[in-house]
């Protein structure tokens, strides 16, 4: 199974502009196993110093962020030309996917939607307020706040993910003139103009998410990026009541202040926006706790979650076992986490993937009991030694010019004609029998040579009729072992 560092890569979760996100496992003593997420810089970008520096900036920044509403980064590492970061595994779905799923099955409750945004704002405020080790503000701005980068877990947690284009004071990369980083539909006007940004740019992006939660639709539907930029810079976003007249006045006021074109007219911080939003949520009849929201989301994605969990469990069981593995990494559905801007990867049915990995029953040879294999092996060695002694006696007799009566071989070593089952004896008895047989064979050869009558030249010695040697019990040949291309495994059959 492919891996990087000390981590086994189980399946690919997503691809973005810079990175590939994998589901991975970490193993330890006593059967320890933990699911993690590994984000790796794309191989084709590893030779570009600017992309490597940008990726390491993200990793260094992410490692400093420790908050319940931000995905946790556990480790950052490099292996040769490969650069990666290790993050916690979050079992959930993005806010974007949740909204789309509820659009097909019923509207996502506005109170629940607003609660998720409020939790995400708490994580953003923590990042905005973070200070360096010397106490100086780090000036972090996410710059890509959107429903794709807000994840809701099935147990009721909200996590802000993907600080890939986040800006901080100690960043080594400067944004080039004419280059836009972020999603245009959620971008603040000053960011679109290429001007310096601060935390209020993230407040604007959160305001777009609030507007969409209040109206139940996208802010700029049917427009391409150029049209969105032109409309945003010329007119600004419309009021929620223009689209949905029943929008409460208090919610409309919160949205329009967060979406002010002039940063000075917006909420000065994410915490100030959370304060007004929580005060409004306290008066909404559909307000929900995060625990209830987690249960609601889990129920909607129950079937999809079951299939994904079964696929992961089956794959991990193959990692723990000794069955042959194909070495092909699986691909799970959708943007579970990491950089969600890449194309979705469709999850094939578990039967299609796992069926080709299962060896057929006929290709797995039954194993002999350990005691039978051990004793049979020892008996085989003893039988070979006894046969060698018999051959030496016959050669000695022939050298002395005499004939060996038929059946003498069986008489000198009665075990040679015995059935194979008679060779199953204990270790010490077998060794003693070999030594006794050797002494008996030597003495019998000497007696036979002394008792032989003289032979006259030119005449054949007289021979007396002897009893024919009984045929040995036939031993069926062992069935041929099935050897696969790797030399040690039976061939895999779908």
List active site positions: 144
- What φ, ψ does residue 265 adopt, rounded to 5°? -95, -5
3-state secondary structure 175-204: CCCCCCCCCHHHCCHHHHCCCCCCHHHHHH
Strand pairing class (7-15; 330-331):
parallel
Give the rounded distance of the alpha carbon of 326 from its chain centre: 14
- 64 vs 168: CA distance, rounded Å: 12
Torsion of the alpha carbons at 424, 428, 433 and 438, rounded to the nearest 10 = 130
Tokens of 298: 């889990």
Residue with tokens 């960011």: 191
Token pair belonging to 268: 């000065």
How many CB atoms are closer than 10 A to CB 10? 25
At which residue do the structure tokens 């890569």 appear?
9
In sequence order, the 6+-apart residues with CB closer than 8 A to the CB of 395 are none
369 three-state secondary structure: coil
Contacts of 352 (CB under 8 A, 6+ apart): none
Contact 256, 239 (CB under 8 A): yes
Element (H, E) at 319: helix 302-320
Rounded to whole angstroms, the Cα distance separating 381 from 374 reads 11
What the block records as the tokens of 379 is: 């008996």
Using an 8 Å Cβ cutoff, are 252 and 110 in contact? no
CA gap 347, 42 in Å, rounded: 22
Reported in sequence order, the residue ranges of 42-91 that DSSP labels E, i.e. its strands, are 73-79, 82-88
């Amino acid at each position: 199974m492919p891996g990087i560092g000390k981590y086994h890569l189980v399946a690919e979760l997503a691809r973005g502009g810079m990175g590939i996100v994998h589901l991975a496992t970490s193993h330890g003593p006593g059967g320890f196993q933990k699911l993690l997420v590994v984000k790796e810089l794309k191989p084709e970008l590893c030779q570009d110093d600017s992309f490597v520096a940008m990726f390491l900036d993200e990793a260094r920044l992410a490692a400093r962020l420790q908050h319940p509403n931000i995905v946790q980064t556990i480790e950052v590492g490099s292996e040769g030309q490969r650069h990666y970061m290790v993050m916690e595994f979050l079992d959930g779905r993005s806010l974007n996917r949740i909204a789309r799923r509820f659009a097909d099955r019923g509207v996502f409750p506005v109170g629940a939607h607003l609660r998720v945004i409020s939790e995400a704002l708490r994580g953003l405020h923590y990042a905005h307020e973070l200070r360096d080790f010397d106490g100086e503000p780090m000036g972090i701005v996410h710059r890509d706040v959107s429903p794709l980068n807000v994840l809701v877990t099935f147990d009721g947690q909200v996590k802000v993910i993907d600080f890939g284009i986040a800006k901080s004071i100690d960043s080594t990369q400067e944004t080039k003139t004419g280059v836009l980083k972020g999603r245009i539909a959620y971008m603040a006007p000053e960011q679109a103009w290429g001007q310096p940004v601060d935390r209020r740019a993230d407040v604007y992006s959160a305001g777009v998410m609030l507007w969409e939660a209040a109206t139940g639709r996208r802010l700029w539907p049917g427009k391409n990026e150029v049209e969105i930029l032109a409309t945003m810079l010329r007119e600004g976003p419309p009021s929620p009541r223009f689209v949905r007249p029943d929008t409460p006045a208090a919610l409309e006021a919160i949205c329009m202040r967060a979406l002010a074109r002039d940063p000075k007219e917006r909420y000065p911080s994410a915490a100030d926006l959370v304060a007004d939003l929580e005060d409004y949520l306290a008066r909404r009849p559909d307000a929900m706790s995060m625990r209830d929201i987690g249960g609601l989301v889990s129920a909607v994605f129950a079937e999809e979650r079951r299939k994904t969990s079964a696929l992961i469990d089956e794959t991990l069981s193959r990692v723990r076992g000794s069955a042959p593995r194909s070495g092909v990494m699986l691909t799970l559905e959708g943007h579970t986490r990491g950089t969600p801007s890449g194309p979705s990867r469709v999850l094939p049915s578990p039967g299609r993937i796992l069926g080709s990995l299962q060896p057929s029953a006929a290709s797995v040879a039954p194993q002999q009991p350990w005691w039978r294999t051990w004793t049979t092996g020892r008996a085989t060695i003893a039988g070979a030694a006894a046969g060698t002694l018999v051959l030496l006696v016959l050669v000695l007799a022939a050298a002395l010019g005499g004939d060996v009566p038929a059946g003498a071989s069986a008489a000198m070593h009665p075990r040679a004609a015995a059935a194979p089952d008679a060779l199953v004896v204990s270790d010490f008895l077998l060794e003693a029998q070999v030594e006794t047989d050797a002494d008996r064979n030597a003495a019998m050869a000497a007696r036979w040579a002394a008792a032989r009558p003289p032979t006259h030249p030119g005449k054949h010695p007289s021979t007396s009729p002897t009893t024919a040697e009984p045929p040995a019990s036939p031993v069926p040949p062992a069935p041929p072992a099935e050897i696969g291309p790797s030399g040690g495994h039976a061939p895999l059959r779908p």
